[in-house]
Amino acid sequence: MSKDTVQDGLVVSMEYTLTVDGEVLDSSKDAGPLQFLAGYENIVPGLEREMAGMKIGESKDVVVAAVDGYGEFDEDAYMEVSRSEFPDDMEIELGMELGVSDEDDNHQMAFVESFDDKTVRLDFNHPLAGAELHFNVKVVGLREPTSEELEHGHVHEEGHHH
């Protein structure tokens, strides 16, 4: 099997632009190419699947349905939390992002959807839930992962922490 195409177990460097509803939401132009370890769900499944077999220098437009991206929008992914659960001196703002842990210590991101003096309503949907994702991707590099990267299942970049 040749190592010059995107395949599981290789580290892929890609330039990309993500467009949703005609608006560019994310692009590698600022931070430089994104590296990901193929086959380890480091990127949204629909994009990973479409990139398999691409060669260095090849680019592609990929449309990823919500179900293969950040999931369908879940009408039940809301939670009402008493204002007293939050620190008194914490300013709560609409749309602010909060890290929430449940009893099993699973961390989830939530966004403040609405609030008043007594209750804060949290939305656990990913901001891009339900969105059709339009990616333009270009493969700019392929390499073998280090044993540590394989063991951890993701790329270790200098000064880049997940």
Give the domain 78-123 fold.
Answer: Thrombin, subunit H (2.40.10)
Check residue 102 and give its pLDDT: 76
Instruction: Sketch the domain layout of the chain as residue ranges.
Output: 11-69+130-152, 78-123
How many beta carbons lie within 10 A of that of residue 108, not counting itself? 13
Q: Which residues contact 141 (CB under 8 A, 6 or more apart)?
A: 12, 13, 33, 35, 56
pLDDT in tens, the chain (162 residues): 568 999 999 999 999 999 999 999 999 998 899 999 999 989 999 999 999 999 999 999 999 999 999 999 999 999 999 999 998 899 999 999 998 887 888 888 899 999 999 999 999 999 899 999 999 999 999 999 999 999 999 998 764 444
- Provide the whole-model pTM: 0.80
Give the domain 11-69+130-152 fold.
Answer: Chitinase A; domain 3 (3.10.50)
Check residue 78 and give its pLDDT: 95
Asked whether 64 and 47 are in contact (CB, 8 A), the reply is yes
Please state the φ and ψ torsions of residue 66, each to the nearest 5 degrees: -50, -40
Asked whether 113 and 73 are in contact (CB, 8 A), the reply is no
